[in-house]
Amino acid sequence: MEDSSIDFNAELQTKIEDKLIFINDNILNILSDAVPEFRKSLETVVGALKNAGILNEDRYQSSSEPHELKLPPDDEVAEDAVTDEISFRLSEYLRRLEFLENNYNIAPDALTIERCRELINFYNFINWERLSPASSSANVRMLVGVELAVQKEDDSLLRGIVRDGKKQLSDTRDRILCGLEDIYVYLLESYKLEIRNRVLPSISIAPEAAAIKPDEAVLIIKKEFRNEMGGIPFINGLVRQIVDEDFSANFEAVRLETILRIEHNNTSITSDEADFELDQIEADSGLLFEGFRLLSAAGPSLLQISEKLTRNSDIIENTQLSFFQRLLRFLSGRGTGSPERIYSVIIFNAEDETGSKLKIDLNRFTAELKKEGTMLLALGSKSSTARLELEQGQDLEVLSELEKHLKRVFRFQSVLPAVDQHLKEKASNSMRGSMNGIKLDLNDIQSCIIKANKRRLEYQTQQNISL
């Protein structure tokens, strides 16, 4: 495995360097435009709402400049204080957006992993296209009230400004988040590669032992990390990824996931941004296979989410059992397999603002996620049997297969937030600290769906033109 690790490190180095080139050539320009554009769009909407008397001037605004990207509070307020409070919170958010523009250098060499995560959380403050009265966020529910007030106004100009402003905010926010997530992946994988180059050569880890007890391998790396990495923080989860990539039973599949994650660019590049022309893509079925390549990048996210949900459920189920219940489960033979886990979750429909209850067999659901993630990885690889068989089919067969996988992934992407929320609600505060979030994975999946579906539509457009 030592020779394969050397080859893998070399491949990682190349992919990370390519990622940095992509970021410098494309993403930084996009972010330099999108960051001030987002603030200006929000200022326009807030200003129009204040002029219409729907929002108030912020009477509590501090005269001092902010010194951190602290999000406004999201707690409940009394009904008679809603207008004042949401006015205050939006004003505070705008002030910090301006602080960000003036004080943050959003570039790979200027950001740490923690600082990049902070920026992602900051722009996740509000999803402007999903303002739902059933949201768990008090701020979102207050903004729904603001929207209802706008709809009651006779002023069509105001309604148009708010509608267009929301769309602009949503589009710009998506561009910023995608760009930041590309930078985030680069920082994470660069951190891991530095550990491989500086720490791993100084230690000895038995592959068989590490495969059985990965946490012990993490501790071995941690001891040497302090000597080799100076004041750089030790990130347990990323070191565990290194152990999985080098020593787990399915290390080859895990390594492939890592490579694909680095190769995948979350940032959508338009034709003028990337000097890209549609006719550079092979016409007809070539568009469909390009769609498969783009959708296959969702494979690693589906596999990761499957593991995270299983791990989160384990934390909840095992913690809720007493010692004697766990002992009885083990003695009866049920401790060696996966216990039955049937959850009732609420799926929210944003279009008609209704919710529907759905029963989820978590074991079956995570198995389906793994199966689809593995299949997508295979369909995205030109040398796989599944891909070679697909290439033998007619265009309509390929189109049908792409649509089938798009629908599957979209269904997963629609249900997953509800499953994640259900597990969080079942967990205590102490449990939540040990649970893994899936928000960034869901963003990746959504980006893949959008890009792959665009290729499908382009193919169908070409067919209509040719007819």
Distance CA 162, CA 165 (A): 5
Question: For the chain, how many residues are written?
Answer: 467
Mean pLDDT of 384-403: 86
Share of the chain above pLDDT 70, in %: 86
Check pLDDT > 60 for residue 182. yes
What's the pTM value of the predicted model, to 2 decimals?
0.61
Residue 324 pLDDT: 53
Which among 182, 178, 185 is positioned nearest to 443, based on CA atoms? 178
Question: What residues have CB less than 8 Å from 186, skipping those under 6 apart?
Answer: 16, 19, 20, 23, 108, 262
Average pLDDT for the chain: 83
Distance CA 44, CA 298 (A): 36
Residue 211 pLDDT: 86
Mean pLDDT of 60-86: 81
Using pLDDT thresholds of 50, 70 and 90, give the confidence band for residue 279. Answer: very low
- Return the structure tokens found at 395: 């265009």
Q: Return the minimum-mean-pLDDT range out of 106-110, 173-177, 314-318, 326-330.
A: 326-330
- Using CB atoms within 10 A of its CB, is residue 138 exposed (0-12), middle (13-18) or buried (19+)? middle
Distance CA 292, CA 282 (A): 14
Q: Return the minimum-mean-pLDDT range out of 40-54, 139-153, 333-347, 352-366.
A: 333-347
Distance CA 148, CA 418 (A): 25
Which among 188, 194, 258, 184 is positioned nearest to 23, based on CA atoms? 184
Mean pLDDT of 133-157: 88
Q: How far is CA 251 from the centre of its chain?
A: 23
Residue 336 pLDDT: 44
- Concatenated DSSP letters for 291-334? HHHHHHTTHHHHHHHHHHHHHHHHHHHHHHS-HHHHHHHHHTTG
Distance CA 448, CA 376 (A): 11
Q: Which residue has tokens 């990049």?
A: 116
Q: Rg of the chain over CA atoms, in angstroms?
A: 24
Check pLDDT > 60 for residue 329. no
277's torsion region: left (phi>0), alpha (psi -120 to 50) or beta? beta
User: What tens digit of pLDDT does each residue of 92-125 get?
Assistant: 999 999 999 988 899 999 999 999 999 999 999 9
- DSSP category for residue 71: P
Using pLDDT thresholds of 50, 70 and 90, give the confidence band for residue 271. Answer: very low
- Return the structure tokens found at 330: 């083990």
* Side-chain half-sphere exposure of 25, counting CA atoms within 13 A: 12
Using pLDDT thresholds of 50, 70 and 90, give the confidence band for residue 270. Answer: very low
